[in-house]
């Protein structure tokens, strides 16, 4: 099972979890498993068409999946997936 690290801003929607263990051979399958466990995350992580929300960056072992195979990026049992929502603000 892969580990998904949940950032503080999304932890409320994940029941307060910092990490979630999920099954799946790809990032898409892992995120589907995460959303199945924590449905409140769906609209924050995925767009209406099922693609990654453009304001959420996803990394597998430090590599941005947008430069890999996006949701088709393979993951293994020792991989760590990091969800990192974009932050805005300032002046």
Full-model pTM: 0.91
Distance CA 29, CA 54 (A): 18
Say how many Å lie between the first and final Cα of the chain, rounded.
42
Look at residue 89 in the predicted model and tell me its pLDDT.
57
Q: Which residues of the chain have pLDDT under 70?
A: 88-91
Distance CA 51, CA 91 (A): 30
Q: Are 20 and 39 in contact (CB under 8 A)?
A: no
- If one counts the domains in the chain, the total is 1
User: What is the extent of the structural domain holding 74?
Assistant: 2-85
Percent of the chain with pLDDT over 70: 96
- 65 in a structural domain: yes
Distance CA 3, CA 24 (A): 10
CATH number at residue 46: 3.10.20.30
């Amino acid at each position: 099972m892969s580990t998904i690290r949940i950032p503080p801003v999304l932890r409320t929607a994940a029941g307060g979890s910092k990490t979630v263990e999920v099954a799946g051979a790809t990032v898409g399958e892992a995120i589907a498993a995460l959303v199945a466990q924590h449905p409140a995350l769906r609209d924050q992580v995925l767009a209406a068409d099922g693609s990654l929300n453009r304001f959420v960056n996803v990394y597998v072992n430090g590599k941005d999946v947008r430069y890999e195979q996006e949701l088709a990026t393979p993951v293994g049992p020792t991989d760590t997936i990091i969800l990192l929502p974009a932050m805005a603000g300032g002046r």
